[in-house]
Structure formats: C-alpha cells, structure tokens
Structure 1
C-alpha cells in the first residue's frame, strides 16, 4: 500500500520510496472527503498512522487540540513540523505501527481515534494488531486497496466474503465509505483505493466461547472454500455438531453468517 501524502512545491525534492510503497495524494477533494468522514473534534485523541507529507495531518491538526502520528520513515518524520499549521499540537513517534503498543496513548475518558493508511504488505496483521486494542478505540478510518476493503466489508454469498470479512466483522462494525481513483495520487498506483471505517464493539453482538477456536475454524474452511463444510471439517465436527449449530453440512463457507460460524466454533469446544 502507498503512503497518503500531500504533494506540494516544497516537497518536490522528496522521492517516493518503493520500500515504503509511497505515492503522494494530491487531490484536495479526496483529502477533504476523508477529513469529513473522520469528523475530528477538539477533544479527540487522534492517532494517525503513516502521515507521510501531511496530506491528512494538516487539516486534521487544524480541527483538534493535539494529534499523535506514527511514522516509520525518519526523513519524513523530521520534516513534519514544517508541513503543518500548528506544529505545537503535533507529537511524532518514529516507530513501526505493527510493533507499537497503542495502550501507551490511551487517555482517561478519551478513546483512541485512529486514521491513516495501512501498507498493503502488512495490512492484515496490522488490522488484527489494532483490534487487540479495540476496547480503547472509538473508531478507525483507513485507506487500502479497494479489493481489500471489499473483502473486509463483504456480506455472505459474495465472492469477496472470506476469512477477513468474518474475523474483522466479529470484532468491529465495518463500513465501506468511498473509492479513490488512481489519478488522485502522483505517481498513480495501479489499483483503485477505498476508504473505510471500523468501529470496535464495546459489547460484541455475537460472542464465541473460544475466539481462537473461531479463528482456526474460519481460516480452515476458507482455505478449502470450494468444499462443503462436511468435507472440509471432516474429523473436526460430526453430524451432531452441525445439527446442534443449526448449520447445513452441505453448505459452503461463503454462505454462512457470522452467527453460524460462531455456532460451529462453539461446537468445537462444547
């Protein structure tokens, strides 16, 4: 995935780095739409991942009292104070978000609001890393490849529906917000992007007896998504388990709801 970065004249000397997957966002309409979606308020505890050249940082910091950013590229981190209108409101942490303890940023009565872009090559593990802090997070707004966002927000009985859909939606309400065309970036990436929102559940609407068992089950069946559940779960669940869960053993995984996956996983630990 690419950095969400502003491209302006004073940044012309910065070369996009392939190892960080950087492309620079220059479409002010898209930037404004992202900020409107986040809807920052003065007392918010906002954390931005991958601020880059401050495309989102600048408008966000103008709307809140303080903003913390996590940036892995130390050259970009060094230049951030000079790119934002209120540098005194900015806290810069040079770190890898995948290894960062977000609990360290939690403040009393001020849940985290996390925004930014997620590098494609670590997007899935990073999402699950962030979900670990879900109880301290109000919401998350991210940009990713549209195909990944389609999978995260997919409903049953669609080709996009899979492990990522089920497991993310177990922990969060996932909402597709809008697509972003390649032309919004310079250089333009080869894929369309999309912005989406995750809202971690304070109280999950469906609770599994064993979340690790649920994760194992979901991962297993979607590696064999063309097989019926009876065949893919042979040796793991018997006919009685399917009946107790109220799930058709001849169904294929993409047809099951989250509640049905939880019911099956509960049978594994019954």
Structure 2
C-alpha cells in the first residue's frame, strides 16, 4: 500500500504503478486508518505488497516491526528512501521475494519471528486467490490475515451455503479458516483507480481444520467436481465419481446443486469416494 503523493495518474513518490505487478496504490488516509484499526496490537507484522508505504509507515510508527514482502525492486528502492525519511527504517525489513513462493517457516527462521503471525496487505488482484490458498496451506503458522482484495473475491471467500457467491473457493477456505468481511473500498481510494470495487477482509485460521488432514485431498476432489458446472445438479456433476444412488445413500438429495451443501455434507460424500479417486 502506498501513501498519498504525486497526483499524476498512476504515479506515487516518483514511481509509476506497473500493470504487470497489479499495482494500485492506496491514497485514502481514512481507509488506511480503518485498516490499521483492524490490525490488533504492536507485535510483528508481515506485509505483502507494501507498495510505497501507506500502511508500512504508520505500522512502524506505532511500534510494530514490519517484514515487508515485495517483488518489484523499483518499489523496494523507493520505499527504503521513504522509510529512512520517516525515521522508521530500522523498524522495517524489506524482503525481495515473490509472495506466491512465501515459506513462512523459512521466513520466521530468517527474520527471527515466532508464529503465529499477523499478515496484512493490499493484494494484487491477479494473485489474491492463489496467494490466499497457499497461505492457508500454512495456516498453523498464522494468527490472522487482514487483506484488501477485489470485492468479488472477498464475497466468494466469505460466502456460505445458498449464497450466490458460494463456490469451491468458499468451501476450501472455510475448511481452514473463518472469513469476516470488514468493509468495502471504492476505486477512488487508489491511484491509479482500479476498475473494480475492493473489500477489506479478515481471515482467521481455525485451531483445527473442519476436514481431517488425511481426508483433505479426497474432499477437494469431491468439491471441485461438485462445482464443475454450477447450474448442474450433484447427480450430473458427480457422475464420474459416484452414482446418484450413492448420493442418496448418504442422505443427500442428488437433485440439489453444490451451493446448497455445507462442509459436513461435502465430507459425507467425500468419504464415499473410492480411495483411489
């Protein structure tokens, strides 16, 4: 996230936002304050995509140690200058790395951090889903995550059964974590303004996943098949995996669509799969 600066479209503190990195710099101080209020305490924070420091600087100023993950070396160069100018350079460690390859165990060892961790960030829309999915695979190392994402993605992450946004992503996220929608952010809060609305969400990993680890691979296979074609019924979508009679024997109506099922129902069906599936 980046602080307010040059008003020229797409330019902040001398850096032009790069489309290939999905950069949209946050410039609305009211939004920044609301995000800060959603991040509890003064402990260490891992920030993904710090931009030019809109959130990095105030976090460091209030006493948080910030480990910022940034791929764009030009952004890193500009941010180092800004952090030093603000007098918080020693509070922030800049790590030049692709967030999609982030290994929290390795990061903790390198930076002397002790899990569970708080992660924050304005996630590039083109990697948000893949990144959150990767981080949830490391959920035992995470206390919570406060992220800005495209509103459509936020809705899908937070959706429950019978919600129009409920789908594969909703189910596989809910297996590992609870998702809370905090507030929406309009395009004009950014420079350059994105073409979509954004949402700030909190993702809190569960102490224990709702699906035992040994069963998660089959569960994901089942859920992926069930949502393969949203308009089709379980009878049709699950036909390659099981007959309608097996669905009925599980106590589930095969004429239902996948968005009507909760996690226990999906798990019941997953347990009916051939182990070799």
Q: TM-score, normalised by structure 2?
A: 0.89
The answer to whether structure 1 residue 199 and structure 2 residue 204 are counterparts is yes
The answer to whether structure 1 residue 114 and structure 2 residue 115 are counterparts is no
Number of equivalent positions: 265
Instruction: Show CA shifts across 1:223-257 (max 9, x none).
Output: 22211111211141234532443221111101111
- Counterpart of 1:181? 186
Counterpart CA distance in 2 for 1:172 and 1:250 is 29
- Counterpart of 2:99? 97
Counterpart CA distance in 2 for 1:8 and 1:199 is 33
Counterpart CA distance in 2 for 1:148 and 1:218 is 18
Instruction: Show CA shifts across 1:188-219 (max 9, x none).
Output: 11110000011111212443752111111111
- Listed as ranges, the matches of 1:1-270 within 5 Å are 4-9=1-6, 11-39=12-40, 41-42=41-42, 44-84=43-83, 85=86, 86-106=88-108, 109-207=114-212, 209-269=214-274
Structure 2 portions without partners, runs of 5+:
none
Counterpart CA distance in 2 for 1:208 and 1:239 is 27
Counterpart CA distance in 1 for 2:235 and 2:12 is 58
The answer to whether the 8 A contact 2:15-2:78 is kept is no
Across the aligned residues of Structure 1 and Structure 2, the Cα RMSD in angstroms comes to: 1.9
Change (3 A) 1:109 1:48: closer
The answer to whether the 8 A contact 2:12-2:25 is kept is no
The answer to whether the 8 A contact 1:207-1:262 is kept is no
Instruction: Show CA shifts across 1:29-88 (max 9, x none).
Output: 00000110112x23x231000001001101111233421000011011122233233110
